[in-house]
A and B are shown apart, each in its own frame.
Chain A
Amino acid sequence: MSRGFTVEEVQRYARHIILPGVGAEGQRKLLEARVLCIGTGGLGSPVAMYLAAAGVGTIGLVDFDIVDLSNLQRQIAHGTSDVGRPKVESAKDTLVEINPNVEVVTYDTLLSSENAFEVLEPWDVVIDGTDNFPVRYLVNDATQMLGKPLVYGSIYQFEGQATVFLPGQEAPCYRCLFPQPPPPGTVPSCAEGGVFGVLPGIVGTIQATEAIKLITGLGEPLVGRLLILDAMTMDFQTVKLRWDADCPVCGKTPTVTELIDYEQFCGIPSRDE
């Protein structure tokens, strides 16, 4: 049986509870939800902060990095006094300050093929807020194999992309969208190419919106559609994202049935070499 609300919760979530479509039932689903954010940087910051504010009961944070001064132009979960701290610790403090009712679970580690199943297994919804291709393919494959929804967001300079991958039901995955990663060196990273500071705020907020919709069952999820946006022209466009029956992970006869070496897949020398 679902628990009731405390007096504090009724006040805190009043604007959701009175909102047609969310209501007490939707808010209760949020309180019972478990969402994992892979990355606590530009995308992960607004995602985790809005999910905490919305009362998502348990939020997981995965990041191995420490806060750098150059992160603060966009990674709003971290502040000046956090420079040098592990990002998951800094972000956890921010989330608890927003909403002390939220349980925050931290993974101060690099997600890998060795630990991905163990890390992802306890969660209802996974958010992709990483900054590199190997982990994006890893998170895609692991969520497909575990049957967990993945809320995808990605940015480059002034441009963003977002969609939701729902395993099963002949729905597309990240490999249906981009079957292969670009060769190393062809797409500069944020460190090399720069990034418009508010852009991850836009895309991360869209990811948080989709996560909340998945949890509450509200509206139409961004499934089978890819949102493309350009902050320079403020052009938002959705294009069709089709399931690929020949996809090696979610197709009719999958050929990738266990996690692989994603750095090798992306043409990057292994960390051991």
Chain B
Amino acid sequence: MPVNVKLPTILRKHAGGQARVEADGATLRELLEDLETSYPGITKNVLTDDGGLHRFINVYVNDEDVRYLGSLETELKDGDMISILPAVAGG
């Protein structure tokens, strides 16, 4: 079940510069595992060492923060758009 993933600039280097990629997964956790398989290193700054979500990078399924859905166990469906959003501070 392919799901579209929007990548922030900081992660695009792992995906050959692509802004948007496809990945598979029934849950967010599976999707991130699939992303990591396709693009090694891409989830290093998204997941903590013990496998949780960092608190300075948000993941949205469509327009909802996954912290308010099921976090990494959030179920995904065909056509969902995943956005990964890191905290940035430039001004």
Chain B, Cβ-Cβ closest to A200: B91
Question: Could you tell me if A153 and B83 are in contact, using CB atoms closer than 8 angstroms?
Answer: no
CA distance A239 to B61 in the complex (A): 9
Question: Could you tell me if B65 and A129 are in contact, using CB atoms closer than 8 angstroms?
Answer: no
Question: Could you tell me if A154 and B55 are in contact, using CB atoms closer than 8 angstroms?
Answer: no
Q: Is residue B85 contacting chain A, with contact meaning CB distance below 8 A?
A: yes
Question: Could you tell me if B86 and A187 are in contact, using CB atoms closer than 8 angstroms?
Answer: yes
Distance in Å: Cβ of A138 to nearest Cβ of chain B: 12
Question: Could you tell me if A239 and B60 are in contact, using CB atoms closer than 8 angstroms?
Answer: yes
Question: Could you tell me if B9 and A159 are in contact, using CB atoms closer than 8 angstroms?
Answer: yes
Task: Tell me which residues from 34 to 53 in chain B have a Cβ below 8 Å from any Cβ of chain A.
Answer: 45
Contact with B along A150-186 (1 / 0, CB 8 A): 0001111111010000000000000001111110001
Complex interface: chain B residues within 8 A of A182 (CB): 45, 54, 56-57, 86-87
30 pairs from A and B in contact (CB 8 Å cutoff): A41-B91, A129-B91, A130-B91, A131-B89, A154-B87, A154-B88, A155-B88, A156-B86, A156-B88, A157-B9, A157-B90, A159-B88, A161-B88, A177-B58, A177-B87, A178-B58, A179-B56, A180-B55, A182-B45, A182-B54, A187-B87, A187-B89, A232-B19, A233-B19, A233-B20, A237-B63, A239-B60, A239-B63, A240-B65, A240-B68
In the complex, besides A161-B85, A239-B60, A239-B65, 20 extra interface pairs with C-beta distance below 8 angstroms are A42-B91, A44-B91, A133-B87, A154-B88, A154-B90, A155-B91, A157-B90, A159-B8, A159-B9, A181-B56, A181-B87, A181-B89, A182-B56, A187-B87, A187-B88, A200-B91, A237-B6, A237-B63, A239-B64, A240-B65
The residues of A with any CB-CB pair to B shorter than 8 Å are 39, 41-44, 128-133, 136, 153-159, 161, 177-182, 186-187, 189-190, 193, 195, 200, 226, 228, 230, 232-233, 235, 237-242
